[in-house]
Structure formats: structure tokens, C-alpha cells
Amino acid sequence: MRAYVIRRVIIGIIILLIVTMMVFLFVRLMPGDPLIVYMAGYDIERVNRIGPEEYQAMLHKWGLDLPIHVQYWNWLAKLFQGDLGQSIKLQEDIGVLIAERMPRTAYLGLISFVIGVFGGIAAGVICALRRGTWIDTVVTLLANTGITIPVFWLGILLMYIFAYKLGWLPTSGWTNPFDDFALHVRQMIMPIICLSVGGIAGLCRLTRSCMLEVMRQDYVRTAWAKGLRERVIVVRHQIKNAMIPVVTALGGSLGAILGGSVLIENVFAIPGMGRLMVSAVFDQDYQVVQAQVLIFGGIIIFSNLVVDIAWGWLDPRIRYA
Amino acid sequence: MVEDKGPVAEPIDTGATVVPPRYSEWRRIVRVFFGRKLAVIGLVIIVILVLIAIFADLAWLGLPGVGIATHDPLATDMKAVLEQPSSAHWLGTDSIGRDTFSRIIHGTRISFRVGIAAVGSSAIIGMAMGLAAAYFGGWVFAIIMRFTDALMALPGLIIIILIAGLVGGGEGVVIFALAFGGIAPQCRIMCGQALHIKQEDYVLAGRAIGMGNLRMMITQIFPNAFPPLLVGITMGLGTIVLAEAGLSYLGIGIQPPAPSWGGMVYNGQAFLLTNPILSLAPGAAIMLIVFGFNMAGDGLRDAVDPRLKGAF
């Protein structure tokens, strides 16, 4: 077990290193220059007036005149000290920018993830147990719609119905829960629905098909034959075995929520990581973008690692695979 | 779709025993696929949308102004701004007087073009990588798999935003970004299939008659791994059309004035209170196309992978 954990951790670190390299290279190979945007905005007249000495001085100040591998090394060395660098556009420490926004995204994402996981698995199990009935038909249809619907459009649709037409909920925005908790809850209902729909629908479909697969196994028939109670068979034999592929898919659904948060935060004007990322992309502020991509990647690698280790612990066969 | 011509007609008389009819995997797949109601619905939706894309206008036949679209999707009309649906403008007009219905019809073309180009290129690159990884094994396998692991660690939309956003929009860039984001899953499926097929007797037989690596990969492993890959491609089309819509919604994707559905949803959002149809109609179009691809993909998966038969 210890060897397995060590091996998984090392692989996780290697993948994270590759991610840092990829992100760094991507960002540097892209056209677009944050210094120009910073010095002159989008005003072409002012861009033309930037003198070469002035530009060189800026390059030097931000360490962008060094060879690319040295830049990478410097960035990595700073990362290890917990320094994510400076935003060229906003003139602020990226660590500070992210520390302010990450909790909002994490909070929304985590709630949506929990709702998605439990809702999806429960719906999938019910569909499989009631296969062929109207419940199964309706829920499966809803799940198929759920994986199809564009989240940002769902957001707009909900906004139209519940905010504009019915007036039950505020259209958008973010309020600190410690300032006005009731308003905060009302504002968060629609974003959370949008973010959890993908997870509920995807996991429902997966759980349903895995359950149906497991229900046809010999050991389930044996369990029925030896006269176990239905509840024991369903919980201990069927659900437990059907969960193997579902748990491995959890990392993916976390990734989908992080990706979806970029869209949803823009729909509902929530000042989180996703909004920061889109505005940083528009400003060509690549230090900020690369830090954010790295954090998202790190979160997913870490959660995959947790899943892997959990499985090694639950299912000894996996340790030796 | 490749249709088998049925049993081999006249076996060549070699004096040996009669050649048994060739078992056709494709034929079984087609039969199972068409037995699934949802799969057929998905396929019908896709076929209709393809026809809409082709006949949106007939400018390519030298007949401008004729076609399904009632107006020029780019023509502005300042005298008919933000109109409600009417007989002249079936879905109304947007803030600069463009006909929403015609824009949605023409948007079909963009979705198919971007979807097919992006999925096609990611499939080619991903499959080549997966094939090489599985076939050569060793360090080739290790490098390619760690690379795809790293790609998989980033949410697809984030990679796409990263590339498309920093390069700047435009259809070519969007296709490139989407294709890049789609490589890893294609590579994974191919690799898994090829690892399996590598163990088959016919591969050993091929080696015995002195097949080279490239010939073996192209003539033996690839065709046998193809059916599951087709499932990946169909599912990938849905995912990529959805991602393109998201990207265009954020303003990083297809640039205006092109009638991209995601961009139309964004533009309509400002007029949600008075003209909800501006946002809601293009979104429904996105749903329809993605639903088509997903359902067709589901049916194909059931047909291709017997382990999942009856699961849906």
C-alpha cells in the first residue's frame, strides 16, 4: 500500500510539472503583449508612441528579456515560495487577487459538486431499480437534456423566468454572506442549479448504466438465490459495485464544474476565478492566466490522486495493476 | 457508413472447402443502432440540421437570396430594430435589425464547420498518438500518456479559453483550440483499443509474414479499433459544439458579425426583458444539435460495445 501511494504521488507530481511546462510554453508562444496593453491600453496612437528604450526598460523590469528557460525556472522557483507573480495589468500581487476570488469559486463549486454527486447517484440508482417505469423514462429524459443544455443558456433561461418574469430572485451579483445572508442565498440559488445540473445528469446516466450492468452479474443472482433481503442486495452488492466507475468519473465532473464556473460567473456577475480569468484573457495578462490554469490543474490532479489512493485502499486489485 | 455486401458471392474454386460467409461487424452495428428509438431520433435531428446548413442559402449554386433563410444574416436594417416575431421576421430582429431566424439558420453552418474540423483534427492527431503509444510501448507510451494525463488535468474549457483567448478569436483559432482540447480523450480510447488488439492472433500472423510497423498499424490495428473510436468522435462532436458555443458566449470564440449561436445568446442577454427570444432561440438550437450528437453517440455505443448492450 505504501509503495502504491508513493508511486501515485510521484506520478501526480510529474503530471503537475508537465502542466506547468505546458501552460508556460502556451502562454509565451501566444501573440499579444501585456506590456503594450498595460502601457497604452487599446489606444493605437499611444502604442505607436512607446519608445524602444521605455519598452526595453519595462521588459527588463518584468524579467521578460531573459531566455525562455530562465524565465520558466524563475517562475517555478517563485511558485515554490508561494509567489504567483504580479499582474501586469492590475499591478497587484496575483496571490492576493486569487486569495480574494478563489473562496467564492470554491464555495459555489463545492456545493454544486456535492449536490451533483448525491443527486446524480440517487437519481441513477432509482432509474435502474425502477427500470422501464415512467419514473425511469422521465428521469432519463431529463438527464439526457441535462448533459445537452448549454450551462450559460440555462442560466439566462432561469434568470428570465425567476428574476424577470416571476421576480422571485435577484438577477445576478454577489453579496458577502456575512453582510446579508438572505440576499446571498437568494443570489446563489440559480448559479448553483446551473453548476450542478451537468453533474447530476452525467452521474445519473453513468450510475444507471453501471447499476444495470451489475444487476446482471452472477453474484447478484447468487445473493437473490440465497434469500438475502432486497435492501441488502441493492446496497451491499449492487450499489457498492456499481460505484467503481462512478467514483473514477468524479474527477472529471469536478473539472466540468470548474470549467462551467467560468461561464456561470460571467452570466451571473460573480467576481470569482472564472471572471478574473476571462478579464485577464482580454487584457492579455498572461501571468494571471497561467497562475489560474495552474491552480485549476493542481486541484484536479490532487482530486484524482485522492480518488486513486481511495481506490487502492478499497480495492486491493488496483494496487498491483 | 460501410455496408457489407453480404456473404461473399461465389467462393473462388480452389478445390478447398467452401469459404464461410464473412461475418460483418458493421452490419450488426447498423442493426442494433436502428433498433434504438433515441438513437434514430438523434440521427434524424443531425440529418435535418445538415440539410438546413446546406440549404441555408443557395449562393453556392449561384442563386443568392433563395434558401431556407428568409433574410441575409448579416444585413442590418435600422428601421426594424428589436422587432417582435412577425410574418416578416419569424423570430424578430436584434439590436441592429438583423433577422434572428436567418442568423440561426446560418449559424448551423458555423457549428458544423467548427465541430467537424475540430473533431476531425483532434481525432487524427489523438489516434496517431494513441496508436503509437500502444504499439511501441516503453518510453513512447510513457511520454505520450503523461502528456495526455497533463492535458486531462486541465478542464477542457480552460485549455480552450487559454489558447483561443490569448491568440485572439477567429474561426481558425477556435478550431485549433477546440482540436487541441479534444486530443487527450481520442488518444486514450485509441490507446486502450490498440493495446487490446496488439494481443490478437492476426497481429502475430501479420508479423510472421513480415509486415512493417506502419503497415501493421494502418492495415491491422486501426480498422479493428475503429468502431469504438467512432463513438468517441460522435460524442466529441456534441462536446465541441457546446464548447464553441461557450467560447463564443464569452466573446473569445467566433467573432462578430458572424452568426455564431453562442455569440447570439450573449448579444441577446442585454434585451432579455423585452426580447427574450433573441437569447432563448439560439440556445435552443445549440441544445438541439448537441442532443442529436449525444443520442446518436449513445446508440452507437450500445451498438458497438456489446458489454453495454441493453444498459440504456
SS3 state of residue B207: helix
Beta bridge partners of A86: A93
User: Which residue matches cell numbers 489523438?
Assistant: B126
DSSP assignments along B36-84, one per residue: -HHHHHHHHHHHHHHHHHHTS-BGGGTBTT-SS-SS-TT---TTS-SPP
| B166 close contact with A: CB closer than 8 A | yes
Higher pLDDT, A190 or B149: A190
Q: Is the distance from CB of A297 to CB of B154 less than 8 angstroms?
A: yes
Percent helix, strand and coil across chain A, each rounded to 5? 80, 0, 20
Higher pLDDT, A180 or A124: A124
User: What phi, psi does A93 have (nearest 5°)?
Assistant: -70, 130
User: What is the distance between the alpha carbons of residues A233 and B261, in angstroms, rounded to a whole number?
Assistant: 48
User: What is the distance between the alpha carbons of residues A199 and A147, in angstroms, rounded to a whole number?
Assistant: 8
Lowest average pLDDT, out of A51-65, A189-203, B9-23, B266-280, goes to B9-23
How many angstroms separate the CA of residue A187 from the nearest CA in chain B?
18
Torsion sign across C-alpha atoms B127, B128, B132, B135:
positive
Neighbours of B61 (CB within 10 A): 10
The pLDDT assigned to B1 comes to 42
Higher pLDDT, A189 or A313: A189
Cβ distance B150 to A266 less than 8 Å, yes or no, reads no
Beta bridge partners of B39: none
The pLDDT assigned to A40 comes to 63
SS3 state of residue A271: coil
Query: Which residue is closest to B159 within chain A, CA to CA?
Result: A293
Cβ distance A284 to B252 less than 8 Å, yes or no, reads no
Distance of alpha carbon B124 from the chain centroid: 13
Q: What is the Cα gyration radius of chain A?
A: 24
Kindly report, residue by residue over A90-116, the tens digit of the pLDDT.
Answer: 778 888 888 888 889 999 999 999 999
* B265 closest CB neighbour out of A153, A208, A277: A153
User: Which residue matches cell numbers 436567418?
Assistant: B102
Cβ distance A300 to B153 less than 8 Å, yes or no, reads yes
Cell numbers that stand for A268 in this block: 451571473
| B128 close contact with A: CB closer than 8 A | no
pTM for this predicted structure: 0.83
Number of residues that this document lists for chain B: 312
Cβ distance A30 to B290 less than 8 Å, yes or no, reads no
Query: Which residue is closest to A298 within chain B, CA to CA?
Result: B153
What is the rounded average pLDDT for all residues in chain B? 81
- Write the single-letter amino acid at A7: R
Name chain A contacts of B265, Cβ cutoff 8 Å: 150, 152-153, 156
User: What is the distance between the alpha carbons of residues B264 and B261, in angstroms, rounded to a whole number?
Assistant: 5
| H or E element that contains B6 | none
How many angstroms separate the CA of residue B17 from the nearest CA in chain A?
41
Neighbours of A96 (CB within 10 A): 13
Q: Does residue A154 surpass a pLDDT of 90?
A: yes
Query: Which residue is closest to A31 within chain B, CA to CA?
Result: B167
The pLDDT assigned to B21 comes to 62
Q: Which of B31, B287, B262 is nearest to B164 (CA)?
A: B262
Cβ distance B155 to A255 less than 8 Å, yes or no, reads yes
The pLDDT assigned to A32 comes to 61
Kindly report, residue by residue over A229-238, the tens digit of the pLDDT.
Answer: 888 888 888 8
Beta bridge partners of B58: B63
User: What is the distance between the alpha carbons of residues B225 and B190, in angstroms, rounded to a whole number?
Assistant: 7
What is the number of alpha carbons within 13 Å of residue B13 lying toward its C-beta? Answer: 0
How many angstroms separate the CA of residue A185 from the nearest CA in chain B?
23
The pLDDT assigned to B309 comes to 35
Whether cis (ω within 30° of 0) applies to the bond prior to B21 is no
What is the rounded average pLDDT for all residues in chain A? 83
Higher pLDDT, B151 or B62: B151
Neighbours of A17 (CB within 10 A): 13
- Write the single-letter amino acid at B79: K
- Write the single-letter amino acid at B118: A
End-to-end CA distance of chain B: 23
Burial B103-127 (b: 16+ CB within 10 A, else e): bbbbbbbbbbebbebbbbbbbebbb
What is the rounded average pLDDT of the residues A115-125? 92
Beta bridge partners of A93: A86
Share of chain A above pLDDT 90, in %: 13
Higher pLDDT, A305 or B169: A305
The pLDDT assigned to B310 comes to 33
| B47 close contact with A: CB closer than 8 A | no
Kindly report, residue by residue over B183-199, the tens digit of the pLDDT.
Answer: 888 888 888 888 888 88
Q: How confident is the model at residue B52 (pLDDT cuts 50, 70, 90)?
A: confident
* B283 closest CB neighbour out of A153, A260, A278: A153
Q: How confident is the model at residue A194 (pLDDT cuts 50, 70, 90)?
A: very high
Q: Is the distance from CB of B248 to CB of B266 less than 8 angstroms?
A: yes
The pLDDT assigned to A197 comes to 92
* A157 closest CB neighbour out of B163, B280, B312: B280
Q: Does residue A280 surpass a pLDDT of 90?
A: no
- ipTM beyond 0.90? no
Q: Is the distance from CB of A18 to CB of B150 less than 8 angstroms?
A: yes
- Write the single-letter amino acid at A265: E
Residues 227-246 of chain B whose Cβ lies under 8 A from any Cβ of chain A? 238, 242, 245-246
The pLDDT assigned to A46 comes to 66
Kindly report, residue by residue over A12-62, the tens digit of the pLDDT.
Answer: 888 888 888 888 887 777 666 666 666 666 666 666 666 777 777 777 777
What is the rounded average pLDDT of the residues A293-313? 84
Cβ distance B252 to A278 less than 8 Å, yes or no, reads yes
Q: Which of B233, B158, B307, B151 is nearest to A263 (CA)?
A: B158
User: Which residue matches cell numbers 506520478?
Assistant: A11
What is the rounded average pLDDT of the residues B96-125? 89
Torsion sign across C-alpha atoms B23, B29, B30, B32:
positive
User: What is the distance between the alpha carbons of residues B67 and B61, in angstroms, rounded to a whole number?
Assistant: 11
Residues 167-206 of chain B whose Cβ lies under 8 A from any Cβ of chain A? 167-168
Q: What is the Cα gyration radius of chain B?
A: 23
Cβ distance B157 to A159 less than 8 Å, yes or no, reads no
Query: Which residue is closest to B289 within chain A, CA to CA?
Result: A148
Q: Which of A152, A286, A283 is nearest to B157 (CA)?
A: A152
What is the rounded average pLDDT of the residues B215-228? 82
Q: Is the distance from CB of B281 to CB of B100 less than 8 angstroms?
A: yes
Name chain B contacts of A266, Cβ cutoff 8 Å: 249-250
Q: Does residue B132 surpass a pLDDT of 60?
A: yes
Name chain B contacts of A286, Cβ cutoff 8 Å: 166
Q: Which of A245, A265, A234, A262 is nearest to A311 (CA)?
A: A245
Name chain A contacts of B151, Cβ cutoff 8 Å: 22
The pLDDT assigned to B160 comes to 83
Q: Is the distance from CB of A140 to CB of A208 less than 8 angstroms?
A: yes
Burial A215-236 (b: 16+ CB within 10 A, else e): beeeebeebeeeeeeeeebbee
Percent helix, strand and coil across chain B, each rounded to 5? 65, 0, 30
The pLDDT assigned to B85 comes to 79
Name chain B contacts of A27, Cβ cutoff 8 Å: 162, 166
* B242 closest CB neighbour out of A150, A277, A286: A150
Q: Read off the DSSP letter of residue B241.
A: H
Cell numbers that stand for B24 in this block: 460483418
The pLDDT assigned to B50 comes to 92
Name chain A contacts of B251, Cβ cutoff 8 Å: 282
Cβ distance B162 to A281 less than 8 Å, yes or no, reads yes
Query: Which residue is closest to B154 within chain A, CA to CA?
Result: A297
Q: How confident is the model at residue B286 (pLDDT cuts 50, 70, 90)?
A: very high
Share of chain B above pLDDT 70, in %: 89
